[in-house]
Chains A and B, each alone.
Chain A
Amino acid sequence: MQMKKWGTGMGMMLALTTLVAGCGAAGQSGTNSSSGTNSTGGTHSSVKVGLVTDTGGLNDHGFNHLSYVGLQKAEQTLGVQGAVVQSNSASDYVPNLTRFAQQGDNLVIAVGFLMQQAVEQVSKEYPNTKFLLIDDAVTDRSNVTSAIFKTEQCGYLVGAMAGLMQKETSIKGINGKNVLGVIGGQSIPPVNTYIAGFYQGAAKTDPGVKIVLKYTNSFTDQASGQQMAQNEISNGADILFPVAGGSGIGSIDAAKAAGIYAIGVDANQNYLAPSTVITSAMKGVDTSTYEVIKQVVNGTFKSGIQYFDLANDGVSIAPTNSVVPQSIVQQVDKLKQEIQSGQITVSPNIPQ
Chain B
Amino acid sequence: MSVKLMQGNEAIALGAIAAGCRFYAGYPITPSSEVAEVMARELPKVGGKFIQMEDEIASMAAIIGARVGGLKSMTATSGPGFSLMQENLGYAVMAEIPCVVVNVQRLGPSTGQPTAASQGDVMQARWGTHGDHPIIALSPISVSQAFDLTVKAFNLSEKYRTPVILLTDEIIGHMREPIELPDFTTVEKYEHVVTEPPETYKPYSNRTDVPPMAAFGRGYRYHITGLFHDEVGFPTQRLDEVEPWLERVNSKLERNPDDILLYQADYQPGARVAILSYGATARTARHAVKQMRARGEKVNLFTAYTLWPFPEKAVEALADSVERIIVPEMNLGQLALEVERVAGRRKVTRVNRANGEMVTPDMILAAMER
Same complex origin of A and B:
no
B interface list, Cβ under 8 A from A: none
